[in-house]
Amino acid sequence: MIEVRDVSLEYDTPQGKVRAVERAGFSARESEFVCLIGPSGCGKTTLLNMIAGFFAPTEGEIRVNGAAVSGQGLDRGIVFQDFAQLFPWRTALGNVAFGLEMKGVAKEERERIAREQLRLVKLEKFADSYPHHLSGGMQQRVAIARALAYNPRVLLMDEPFAALDALTRDEMQRLLAEVWRETKKTVIYVTHNVAEAVYLADRVIVMTPHPGRIRAEVPIRLSRPRDPLSVEFLEHQKELLRHLTQKEEAR
């Protein structure tokens, strides 16, 4: 479904060239939930942005559903970390319906679909509220509904719950797992939170910084719903932490 082949990104700074991502490669199957994990500066967000099409890799190529990525597209929905991603001048319903509007869907149909999406994220009662009246967690839920409304095949998420408090975050993770189960999207999820990755992902891709590279791929073979307090869960966490903190092998 998604293929990242030998992708590198290099950019110029006053101090010289910086390689944000170095020869990264992985693939994601249809309906798979893949997490990109790593400390800051490891290039995970950059990689996600390239899959989204916000900028092109310096080397290598990215393919989604067989076609090469060139710019943004309605086949990849995106949810950012910042709550401000919602359009403040539109109600929750108006926000969620945006993608459908762009697709040219008729008003009645748009609103119907948008309301369904809001129901999926349990916010149907707030359809007519403006974003600034909603809490952070609620705003992120609207953002998720918005990214799903027009039925993209892929959902890209960039640390969407990082700015929420711990309790809300747990709630949101459970909700996301449910939503994913129902919609069966291919998800690429960026996070620095190991427990979150183990909870959500089928497969976790570990990245390390300077330059950003893929260090390891760890499948998570736990049945859902997952119990964060179970022994197996903690084992997976430990394994990921090992990969993250391991010293760089001599090259």
Closest CA to 100 of 112, 91, 86: 112
- Find where tokens 């989604």 sit: 64
Size of the chain in residues = 251
In the complex, the smallest distance separating the C-beta of residue 211 from other proteins, rounded to whole angstroms, is 23
Q: Which stretch binds other proteins (CB under 8 A): 96-104, 106-114, 217-225, 235-243?
A: 96-104
In the complex, the smallest distance separating the C-beta of residue 247 from other proteins, rounded to whole angstroms, is 36
Find the binding residues for other proteins in span 49-88 (CB under 8 A): 52-54, 72-74, 76-78, 80, 82, 84-85, 87-88
Q: Which stretch binds other proteins (CB under 8 A): 29-37, 56-64, 97-105, 112-120?
A: 97-105
Q: Three-class SS of residue 23? A: strand
Closest CA to 152 of 75, 95, 79, 80: 75
Find the binding residues for other proteins in span 8-27 (CB under 8 A): 14
In the complex, the smallest distance separating the C-beta of residue 180 from other proteins, rounded to whole angstroms, is 19
In the complex, the smallest distance separating the C-beta of residue 224 from other proteins, rounded to whole angstroms, is 28
In the complex, the smallest distance separating the C-beta of residue 130 from other proteins, rounded to whole angstroms, is 6
68, 102, 234, 241: residue in contact with other proteins (rule CB under 8 A): 102
Kind of pairing, strands 186-191 and 154-158?
Answer: parallel
Terminal CA-CA length for the chain: 32
Cβ distance 209 to 41 under 8 Å? yes
Report H helices in the chain.
Answer: 44-52, 92-96, 98-103, 107-120, 136-149, 166-183, 194-200, 231-245
How many CA atoms within 13 Å lie on the side-chain side of 232? 10
If one asks whether residue 223 binds other proteins (CB under 8 A), the answer comes out as no
In the complex, the smallest distance separating the C-beta of residue 91 from other proteins, rounded to whole angstroms, is 10
The pair phi, psi for residue 46, each rounded to 5°, is -60, -45
String marking each residue 126-155 x if it binds other proteins according to CB under 8 A? ----xxxx------------xx--x-----
Q: Which stretch binds other proteins (CB under 8 A): 1-9, 124-132, 181-189, 239-247?
A: 124-132
**For binding to other proteins (CB under 8 A), which residues are involved?**
14, 52-54, 72-74, 76-78, 80, 82, 84-85, 87-90, 98-99, 101-103, 130-133, 146-147, 150
